[in-house]
Amino acid sequence: MLFLNSCGLFQFYAPWCGYCKKLEPIWHEVGAELKSSGSPVRVGKMDATAYSGMASEFGVRGYPTIKLLKGDLAYNYKGPRTKDDIVEFANRVAGPAVRALPSKQMFEHMMKRHDVLFVYVGGDSPLKEKYNDAASELIVYTYFFSASEEALPESVSLPELPAVVVFKDGGYFTYDEYEDSSLSLWVNKERFQGYLQIDGFTLYELGETGGVCSFSIYNVFIPEFHFPLLKTLMQRVAKEYREHFNRDFQFGHMDGNDYINSLIMGEVTVPSVIILNTSNEQYFLPSEPIESMEQLVQFISSVLNGSAQAYGGDGIIQRIKRVAFDARSTIMSVFRSSPLLGCFLFGLPLGVISLMCYGICTAESDDGSDDIDAPKREGLTDEEEEEEEEERQRAAALEGPEEEDEDVGEKDPEEKKTD
């Protein structure tokens, strides 16, 4: 294939896919941007329906699928489908997995550019090998750097070297091999800021952290006076209680409640606080409005120790409800956006089914009209059948003499003469 021995950004699409058509102008902008900037990344696309074997080889299961092919490796892009995000992904993955920061000036420059910065400090070691492996795996999400101790700001003091440090939220935090276990899991968790704005894509990313972010806290709000209070409380808890909650919780806020309503199949009042378990789709609501940091900490602690009331989940009943809810939401959205189209899509099949049922029922009624008395006779007992037979014989006997009298009354003219 063209990009296997070089570096290329590749889109697998289907001609009938609406999302692919929507991505088309953005894809042209991505190609133009990478070419004008002198990037070594080449941009292309393939009709996955025409080359299904090639698409299957690269594990394409939906459209559009964006992959960066680098040597023998293929990196999936799962971010927002915007020009800037795709270009940034291509440049990040196409370069080295770990980039060097040779000076304090370069270090400070990168600190200004990135909200979250992972840095390996020290010489060759087993920890460096683990860091390189984690970088190769997670380069699709964030940048990885290495630096000497001399390149660090004077305010940074590390207890021992080598070390892996993440700089974010106005501070820095060191990886502890004994407490944090896997370096990849630690990086996957720490790549998010302590408090961030959450949307559908961010929620998807949180769900893919493999249970590291078991819970996510959302402040669902509309612009009114109560929101600044809740936001301030949550930011304080995220920072001041980091050691208590950072392993299990991700803090943030979400604009509006439409997305969260569809997620929990219910109605969340705004503004409010909700805790969502991304591993099993359970969610938790406070029993009373949150108005102080003590109330918020108590609510989070109750979820952590299992005493809070859990709602939702991923059981069979909830899955059935999800199917019904999604079907209802789809129908309602179609009717809201285009009533005529909704009537055509759902009214026409119902009309056809009604006509078929009417035809079947009418056909059964016509077939049974010729033998309408048959069901009645089939339901008679033996005694009733004998009585019916006797009545039939009596009726025949009464009809017999009348016929004979008629015969007697009608004599031949010769018989009359004889008489």
How big is the chain, counted in residues? 419
Distance of CA 123 to the CA centre of its chain: 43
Tell me the longest C-alpha to C-alpha distance in the chain.
158
DSSP annotation of 344 = I
d(CA 236, CA 220): 17
Question: Is 29:83 a contact under the CB 8 Å cutoff?
Answer: yes
The verdict on whether 20 is a catalytic residue reads yes
> Which H or E element spans position 74?
strand 73-77
Which of 17, 213, 357, 361 is catalytic? The answer is: 17
Using alpha carbons, select from 240, 228, 199 the residue that is nearest to residue 216.
199
Centroid of chain to Cα 57 = 24
At 386, list the tokens.
């004998």
Are the C-beta atoms of residues 253 and 218 closer than 8 Å to each other? Answer: yes
Candidates 20, 343, 357, 361; catalytic one: 20
Q: Are 209 and 188 in contact (CB under 8 A)?
A: yes
Label the pairing between strands 171-174 and 282-284: unpaired
| Contact by Cβ (8 Å): 296, 234 | yes
Per the annotation, the verdict on 213 as an active-site residue is no
Instruction: Transcribe 300-312 into DSSP letters.
Output: HHHHHTT-SPPEE
What are the catalytic residues?
Answer: 17, 20
